[in-house]
Amino acid sequence: MHIDELVTLVEKMPAFPNSVQRVVELASDINSSGKDIVVVIESDPVMTVKILKAINSPFYGLPRKINSIQRAVVHIGINTIKNMALSVAAIGVLKPHNKAGFDTGKFLLHSLMTAAICKKLGETMGVPQNELSDYYVAGLLHDFGKVVFAEFKAEAFKQSLQKSAEQQLPLHHCENEFIGIDHSQAGALLAEKWAFDASLVEAINHHHTPPQSSLLTQCLFVANQVSKQLGIGDAGNPIVEAFPEAVSAHFGMDLNEVIESLGDLSTLKSEALSFIH
């Protein structure tokens, strides 16, 4: 699969049904507040990606890369962001079940949980307030490549999902076999093409193989394992991966200890669930 093909495919990619409905409702409600619309966009990987992509496009030429919807709102105004969301919403709607048999509702829940947990981990690791949204967005978008596969490489992605489930293999290994590229590479290529910040590109690229250096990538790795271990949502990968050396060294805990340290996640879960239903 070629990068240019990937990029064109994403242009055609529709948003998730529930957020489309909410964006349309909010846009027609004169009393809706800016933050309502931000919340909806932030809960939808397709809207998020498309808006960040447009804002970071080279001919738009912002001095700094913009990694989060909130930042985008401050730079360009809530009304423009709302209108961009509306135009994304106007492009079809992602089907809850598709030819690949990939459940987009469960996928969205997995993404939202990973996003919330990643942000929370960043917070506990002392990441400054103004960088936490990068942690959220990294969690939200880390598996973005899978939605592209489900929509446009349905047959090969279906085979990957099946083999991964039947033989209990990591999904990204099977994607490599059937599609020739895995979702973390696909997501990273897209993020790079759209001029997202290098740290975000790296986090998406290495979310299964976190390097020593990046705290963001390590938090994302851990958040991803936590949401899989807890079984909240499902993005098609049955394997909870062991912590690599770098991650263990950094967190000084194993997966269950991390989960314990995070405390009660039921609020995060119900918030995430409220976007799916």
Partner 1 sequence: MKLIFRGVRGSIPTPGPGTVKYGGNTTCIEIRTASNELIILDAGTGIHALAQRLNPRETVNAHIFITHTHWDHIQGLPFFMPIFMPNNLINIYGGIDPVTNEGIQRSMGVQLQYSFFPIREAELKAKLNYHTLLPGKTVSVGEARITPTLLNHPVLNFGYRIDCDGQSLFFTGDYEPVYNIYSPEDPDHDEYQSYVEAKLAEVAQAMSDVDALIVDASYTDEEYRSKQGWGHGTYRSALSMAAQAHAKKLFLTHHDPCRSDRQLDRIHQQLQQENRDAPFDILMAREGIEYTL
With H, G, I as helix, E, B as strand and everything else as coil, classify residue 154: helix
Segment near partner 1 (CB under 8 A); pick from 125-133, 178-186, 198-206, 231-239? 125-133
125 binds partner 1 (CB under 8 A): no
268 binds partner 1 (CB under 8 A): no
137 binds partner 1 (CB under 8 A): no
What is the C-alpha separation between 208 and 183, in angstroms, rounded? Answer: 10
Phi and psi dihedrals of 97, rounded to 5? -125, 140
10 binds partner 1 (CB under 8 A): no
Segment near partner 1 (CB under 8 A); pick from 60-68, 144-152, 197-205, 252-260? 60-68
Segment near partner 1 (CB under 8 A); pick from 72-80, 103-111, 189-197, 229-237? 72-80
Cβ-based nearer residue to partner 1, 132 or 273: 132
Q: Binder to partner 1 among 4, 11, 61, 264 (CB under 8 A)?
A: 61
Cβ-based nearer residue to partner 1, 60 or 257: 60
- Render the burial of 64-103: b for 16+ CB within 10 Å, e for the rest: ebbbbbbbbbeebeeeebbebbbebbeeeebebebebebb
What is the C-alpha separation between 181 and 267, in angstroms, rounded? Answer: 36
With H, G, I as helix, E, B as strand and everything else as coil, classify residue 68: coil
Minimal distance, residue 71 CB to partner 1, in Å: 5
54 binds partner 1 (CB under 8 A): yes
CA R_g for the chain: 18
263 binds partner 1 (CB under 8 A): no
Cα-based torsion angle of the residue sequence 10, 222, 172, 39 in order, rounded to the nearest 10 degrees: -20
Q: For Cα atoms 178, 181, 186, give the angle at the middle one, nearest 5 degrees.
A: 135
Q: For Cα atoms 268, 244, 136, give the angle at the middle one, nearest 5 degrees.
A: 30
* DSSP 8-state secondary structure symbol assigned to residue 103: B
Cβ-based nearer residue to partner 1, 157 or 196: 196
Helix extents (H) in 198-238: 198-205, 215-230
What is the C-alpha separation between 21 and 164, in angstroms, rounded? Answer: 33
Cβ-based nearer residue to partner 1, 6 or 72: 72
Minimal distance, residue 113 CB to partner 1, in Å: 17
Site map for partner 1, 84-103, x if CB under 8 A?
x--x----------------
Q: Binder to partner 1 among 10, 40, 73, 265 (CB under 8 A)?
A: 73
Residues that bind partner 1 (CB under 8 A): 33-35, 38, 54-55, 59-63, 70-71, 73-80, 83-84, 87, 129-130, 132-133
